């Protein structure tokens, strides 16, 4: 039985599939489905006896940050607390160093409220800036995410 025609057909099929393969497009958006925000304990629950009295609640130790998207999903505005920061990652990191290295400021975690139109690559630049700032301040990076509601942060 001649094997050359079968090998020829196999290579033709292989060539066809290699040339017609179209990979899936790269991810352009960061889609998240998060649980609704709710307190971890009941508001009227008594504090445990061993709890330290000088420990601040998580809401006061959290640095709120709002990320707004511009046209095309690029980062248009960063608001850290009440202050607007330049969208340059180096400038953001320098500003965050002030927040995390100051012993009088209790911030040891952050909440990023992200515009749903913001591209994933832009979000990762901001996350890297926060991670670097936490590392410089010798703190464990603690970053939470939430979707920015329409009209929120205006």
Residue 125 is assigned to a structural domain of this protein: yes
Residue 3 is assigned to a structural domain of this protein: no
Residue 49 is assigned to a structural domain of this protein: no
Judge if pTM exceeds 0.75. Answer: no
Residue 96 is assigned to a structural domain of this protein: yes
Residue 40 is assigned to a structural domain of this protein: no
Residue 64 is assigned to a structural domain of this protein: yes
Q: What is the distance between the alpha carbons of residues 63 and 80, in angstroms, rounded to a whole number?
A: 7
Q: What is the distance between the alpha carbons of residues 30 and 146, in angstroms, rounded to a whole number?
A: 12
Residue 20 is assigned to a structural domain of this protein: no
Domain that holds residue 64: 58-147
Q: What is the pLDDT of residues 56-113, one digit of tens each?
A: 665 567 788 888 888 888 888 888 888 888 888 888 888 888 877 777 777 777 888 8
Please give the span between the terminal C-alpha atoms of the chain, in angstroms, as a whole number.
77
Residue 31 is assigned to a structural domain of this protein: no
Looking at the structure of the chain, the number of domains it has is 1
């Amino acid at each position: 039985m001649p094997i050359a025609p079968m090998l020829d057909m196999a290579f033709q099929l292989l060539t066809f599939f290699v040339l017609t393969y179209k990979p899936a497009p790269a991810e352009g958006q960061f889609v998240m489905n998060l649980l609704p925000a709710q307190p971890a304990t009941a508001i009227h629950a008594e504090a445990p006896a061993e709890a330290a009295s000088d420990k601040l609640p998580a809401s006061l130790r959290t640095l709120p940050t709002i990320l707004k998207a511009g046209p095309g999903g690029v980062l248009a505005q960063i608001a850290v607390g009440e202050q607007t920061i330049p969208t340059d990652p180096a400038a953001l990191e320098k500003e965050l160093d002030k927040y995390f290295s100051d012993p009088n400021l209790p911030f040891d975690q952050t909440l990023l409220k992200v515009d749903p139109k913001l591209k994933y690559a832009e979000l990762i630049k901001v996350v890297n800036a926060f991670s670097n700032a936490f590392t410089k301040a010798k703190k464990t990076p603690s970053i939470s995410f939430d979707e920015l509601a329409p009209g929120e942060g205006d």
